[in-house]
Amino acid sequence: MTSLSATGDNGGAGQEPGAIHRGGRAMARFGLSLMLTLLGLTLVTFLIARVIPIDPVLVMVGDRATPEAYQAAREALGIDKPLLVQYADYLSKVVRGDFGVSNMTGQSVLDDTLRVFPATMELAIVATLIGTLLGLPLGVTAAVRQGRPTDHLIRIISLVGYSVPVFWIGLVGLLVFYAKLDLVAGPGRLDMVYQYTVPVRTGFVLIDTIMAGEWSAFGNAISHLILPAGILGYFSMAYIARMTRSLMIEQLSQEYILAARAKGVPARRVIWRHAFGNVAVPVLTVVSLTFMYLLEGAVLTETVFAWPGLGLYITQALFSADLNAVLGGTLVIGICFVIVNRATDFFYRILDPRTK
């Protein structure tokens, strides 16, 4: 008995270091993957800055500068150095959080992006919630009623939302709901009367107005948010519904679904517990891709609605030939892609233990 107990204890003790070793290797792989991804991202953004036919020296000194002033500016920016040395300098600054100074605002690009990024994040989160809450049930309903009028109607709605340019829908929405019907507020996040009365604490205007107890400003913020978030949410809903329908149709034709129905399992349980449960992981991928697209692709929407987010900031920087601001904003979006991708992998393991 003693020997058996000792053997069991030793076996348990031997398994624990193995688990720790596997966990350490997993963390090392994750860290290496994250580092290589960010390294590749910085390399791509740096090379894009060198390929764009914009001379940052001319932007800095103007086209009437003397050759001496032009050369001095090149040396100050480090453009006269070899390309590899320039990239090493750029990488060392990025690691320290130094994205340079914006020519538009005269402030640090990092400070600018931290100021405008919450607006983009707020818009993307609300639009993703709208698209998910509408797209999932519509996709499931279309799959269950495949080939029926309900299915055709949902597919047409999804096709329109997925095909029509977002900026065109935005312009039509402003014309109809703001200019003609006056049902929602216009461009921007808040009316001028509220912009200087609500203290900025988180950068999320909905949260800031609640924390300040400014309920009239909160209602005004909702009114400004409805149209851009609704339009982006419509696009998200179209994509999510389309993909959910496809995934559910495949699952509903499986033998285990037919067996469950033959056993008399309630239809709601068969659809949502069995079929939808098996497509939850790919649906999570669809929702994650939608959210990442909204972070990246809200540029036109923010421009149409004068939404002071990262997309509008990058657009204005492009027109101003402000490469530091463009690269800083692009790098922030890329980092968000990496974070959302890793978070999706984490939720995979919760929804499907087989992926551990």
Q: Is 109:118 a contact under the CB 8 Å cutoff?
A: no
Least confident of 95-99, 198-202, 243-247: 95-99
Binning pLDDT at 50, 70 and 90, where does residue 6 land? very low
Domain boundaries, the chain: 28-95, 118-301
Stretch 23-49: mean pLDDT: 76
Compute φ and ψ for 295, nearest 5 degrees. -65, -40
Nearest in space to 45 (alpha carbons), one of 335, 288, 342, 353: 335
The mean pLDDT of the chain is 83
Stretch 280-293: mean pLDDT: 88
Binning pLDDT at 50, 70 and 90, where does residue 16 land? low
User: Is the pLDDT score of 155 beyond 90?
Assistant: yes
Binning pLDDT at 50, 70 and 90, where does residue 12 land? very low
Q: What is the four-CA torsion angle of 164, 168, 171, 172, rounded to 10 degrees? A: -40
Stretch 69-83: mean pLDDT: 79
Query: How many residues make up the chain in this entry?
Result: 356
pLDDT at res. 356:
55
DSSP 8-class letter at 52: S
pLDDT at res. 89:
86
Candidate ranges 9-18, 34-43, 127-136, 267-276; pick with highest mean pLDDT: 127-136
Q: What tokens does 340 get?
A: 């959302």
Instruction: Compute the distance between CA of residue 249 and CA of residue 275 in angstroms, rounded to an integer.
Output: 9
Stretch 45-66: mean pLDDT: 74
3-state secondary structure of 306: coil
Stretch 80-88: mean pLDDT: 83
Q: Which residues pair with 37 in a beta bridge?
A: none
pLDDT at res. 11:
46
Q: Is 239:131 a contact under the CB 8 Å cutoff?
A: yes
User: Is the pLDDT score of 29 beyond 80?
Assistant: no
Q: What tokens does 90 get?
A: 């750029």
User: Is the pLDDT score of 19 beyond 70?
Assistant: no
3-state secondary structure of 133: helix
Binning pLDDT at 50, 70 and 90, where does residue 4 land? very low
User: Is the pLDDT score of 2 beyond 50?
Assistant: no
Stretch 255-278: mean pLDDT: 87
Each residue's pLDDT tens digit, 171-187: 999 999 999 998 999 88
Q: What tokens does 50 get?
A: 């060198």
Q: What tokens does 352 get?
A: 């499907």
Candidate ranges 30-44, 64-78, 96-110; pick with highest mean pLDDT: 96-110
User: Is the pLDDT score of 64 beyond 60?
Assistant: yes
User: Is the pLDDT score of 22 beyond 80?
Assistant: no
Least confident of 13-27, 106-120, 191-205: 13-27
Instruction: Compute the distance between CA of residue 227 and CA of residue 167 in angstroms, rounded to an integer.
Output: 12
Name the residue with tokens 């233990």.
Answer: 353
Binning pLDDT at 50, 70 and 90, where does residue 352 land? low
Instruction: Compute the distance between CA of residue 90 and CA of residue 94 in angstroms, rounded to an integer.
Output: 6
User: Is the pLDDT score of 13 beyond 60?
Assistant: no
Instruction: Compute the distance between CA of residue 24 and CA of residue 21 in angstroms, rounded to an integer.
Output: 5
Name the E strands within 145-207: none
Q: Write down the CATH number for the domain with range 118-301.
A: 1.10.3720.10
pTM of the model: 0.82
Candidate ranges 6-10, 164-168, 237-241, 328-332; pick with highest mean pLDDT: 237-241
